[in-house]
Structure 1
Amino acid sequence: MSTLLPSIDKRLFELLIAPENARFTIRSLRDQYADQYVIPAKHRPALRRFIYERIKKLINAGLVEKDREKRKRDQLYHSLPLINGAGLCLDGERFERWHKRLVPQADNETAKETTFPKEQDDCEPSTNAKKAASQFALEKELKETQSEFLSTLGEVEAFRELMDEYPELKPGIVVDHRDAYDRSARLMGRVRALEKSLHRLGGT
C-alpha cells in the first residue's frame, strides 16, 4: 500500500464501503452518485471522469483493485477490506467544486445557466426535483442500455452464423460467442430493471 493516502470525497467513500459495491464499475458508481446528489444528466461524462481519477488513486494506494478479467467496457473493480480502516482523509473535493474549477473561462455563461443544486447540508432538493432528475437519468440510461443490448445481440448472432458457415473457425471464436451471449443476458437484465424502476417511479 502507498504510504501517501489520497484524500477522497466523503460521498464517494460512502458508496465504496457499501456492501453492494464490494464489486463495482465506474458507471455504477457514477449513476449512484448522480442519483443521490442530483447531478444533471449532461454532466455525467464529467462525473465519470471525476470518479475514475479517484479510483486510480485508490488503486495506487492498494485500497481498490481491478478485476483480473479485463473488459473493454464496464471494467469491474473491487473495494478491498483495508479501505474501511485505512484512515483516508474524507475532505476531498466534491464533484460540483471540481467541475466548476475545470469549466473553461469561455464557458462561463453556460456554467451560470447550468448551476448545480446546493449541497445537501445547505438546502435539501425538493422531492419533485429529485424525482424529475431521477426519471430523466433513468430514461437516458434505458435508451443507452437498449442500444447496447441490440448491438451485443447482433454480435451473438454474427458469431453463431460464422461458426455455422465456417466450422474451422469455431474453436477460435466460441469463447467470444459465449462472452457476447453473457453480456447480452446481463444487458437484458439491466433493461428490465430500468424499465421496472421507471414504472415504479412513475407510480409514486
Structure 2
Amino acid sequence: MSGTPPLIEERIFELLLEAEDAQFTIRSLRDQYAQRYGIAAKHHADLRRFIYERIKKLITAGLVEKGREKRKRDQLYFVLPSIREAGLCLEGESFESWHQRLVAPAPRETASTTVTSKEEGSCAQSKTARKAVSQLALEKELKETQSEFLSTLGEVEAFRELMDEYPDLKPNIVVDHRDAYDRSARLIGRVRALEKSLHRLGGT
C-alpha cells in the first residue's frame, strides 16, 4: 500500500466487504448504496461520481484493483484482501454531506477549513471505527465457518451411515469419510479461534 491510508466513508467500506467474489462495478456499488440508504434516482449520477472518486483513492492506495479487461461500460474492480488490515479512517464524508456542498458550495476558504477540521477529528476516532468493522467481519466469518462445519459434520455422519448400511461400499468411501472428518476437525478449530478472537476484541 502506498502512502497514508485514505479517508473513506464507512458505508462504502461495508459494501466493498460484502462484494460478491470480491468484485464489483461502480454502477453495482452505486445501486446497492442507493437502495440501502434511500438515495433518490435523480441523484444517481452524482452518487456514481461520489463513489468513483473514492474508489480511485483506494486504487492509488493499493487496496482495490482495476480489472485488466478494459470495458467501456461496467468496468470490473476487485477488492484486495489487504483492505481489511489497511487501517483506513472510516469517518469519511457521507454522500448527503458531499452532495449538499456540491449543490450549495460554501466560500472556498471556509469550506476547506471546515472539511479539514472535520476529517482531523474523525481520524482521531478511527481506531474505534476500525475495531467495530473488524468485529463485524469476524462475526460474519464465524457464522460462515459454523455453517460450513455443520455441513461437513453432516457429511461425516452420512458416510458413516452408508458404510454401516452397505458394507460392500465401505472400501470405496472410507477415504471420503476420513477427508470429511479431517475437514470437520479443522473447521471446529477455526470456529474456536474466531470465537476467542472475538472475545479478545470485545475485551480490548
Query: Residue 35 of structure 1 corresponds to which residue in structure 2?
Result: 35
Q: 1:75 to 1:83 in 2, by over 3 A?
A: same
Number of the residue aligned with 1:80 = 80
Q: Is the radius of gyration larger for structure 1 or structure 2?
A: 2
Q: Report the number of matched residues.
A: 105
Which whole-Å CA distance do the structure 2 matches of 1:88 and 1:6 have between them? Answer: 6
The answer (yes or no) to whether the contact 1:34–1:40 under 8 Å persists in 2 is yes
Deviation, 1:2, is 1.3
Q: Deviations over 1:127-153 (max 9, x none)?
A: xxxxxxxxxxxxxxxxxxxxxxxxxxx
- Aligned 1:31-180 pairs, distance under 5 A: 31-104=31-104
Look up the equivalent residue of 1:37 and give its one-letter code.
Y
Residue 13 of structure 2 is matched in structure 1 by 13
8 Å Cα contact 1:15/1:21 also seen in 2: no
* Residues in 1 aligned to 2:52 and 2:21: alpha-carbon distance in whole angstroms: 15
The answer on 1:24 being equivalent to 2:63 is no
Report the residue type matching 2:38 in the other structure: V
| Residues 46 and 99, structure 1, Cα contact 8 Å, conserved in 2 | yes
Cα deviation, 1:8-27, whole Å, max 9, x if unaligned, reads 00000000011516110000
Aligned to 1:172: none
Distance 1:71 1:23 in 2: 15
Distance in 2, matches of 1:19 and 1:92, equals: 20
The amino acid that maps onto 2:30 is: R
Question: Unaligned regions of 5+ residues in structure 2, if any?
Answer: 106-204
**When the two structures are superposed, what TM-score results if normalisation uses the length of structure 2?**
0.50
> What CA distance in whole angstroms lies between the structure 2 residues aligned with 1:26 and 1:19?
12
Per-residue deviation, 1:104: 3.8
What do residues 60-98 of structure 1 show as CA deviations (whole Å, max 9, x unaligned)? 000001000000000000000000111100000000000
TM (normalized to structure 1)?
0.50
> Following the alignment from structure 1 to structure 2, what is the Cα–Cα distance between the partners of residues 84 and 45?
29
The Cα RMSD (Å) is: 1.1
| C-alpha distance after superposition, 1:31-80 (max 9, x if no partner) | 00000000011000000000000000000000001000000000000000
Runs ≥4 in structure 1, deviation > 3 angstroms? none
Alpha-carbon distance in 2 for matches of 1:79, 1:66? 9
| Equivalent residue, structure 1, for 2:187 | none
Structure 1 residues 51, 21: CA separation in 2 closer, same or farther (over 3 Å shift)? Answer: farther
Percent identical residues: 70
Deviations 1:139-174 (A, max 9, x none): xxxxxxxxxxxxxxxxxxxxxxxxxxxxxxxxxxxx
- Relative to structure 1, the CA distance from residue 77 to residue 102 in structure 2 (aligned partners, 3 Å threshold; closer, same or farther) is same
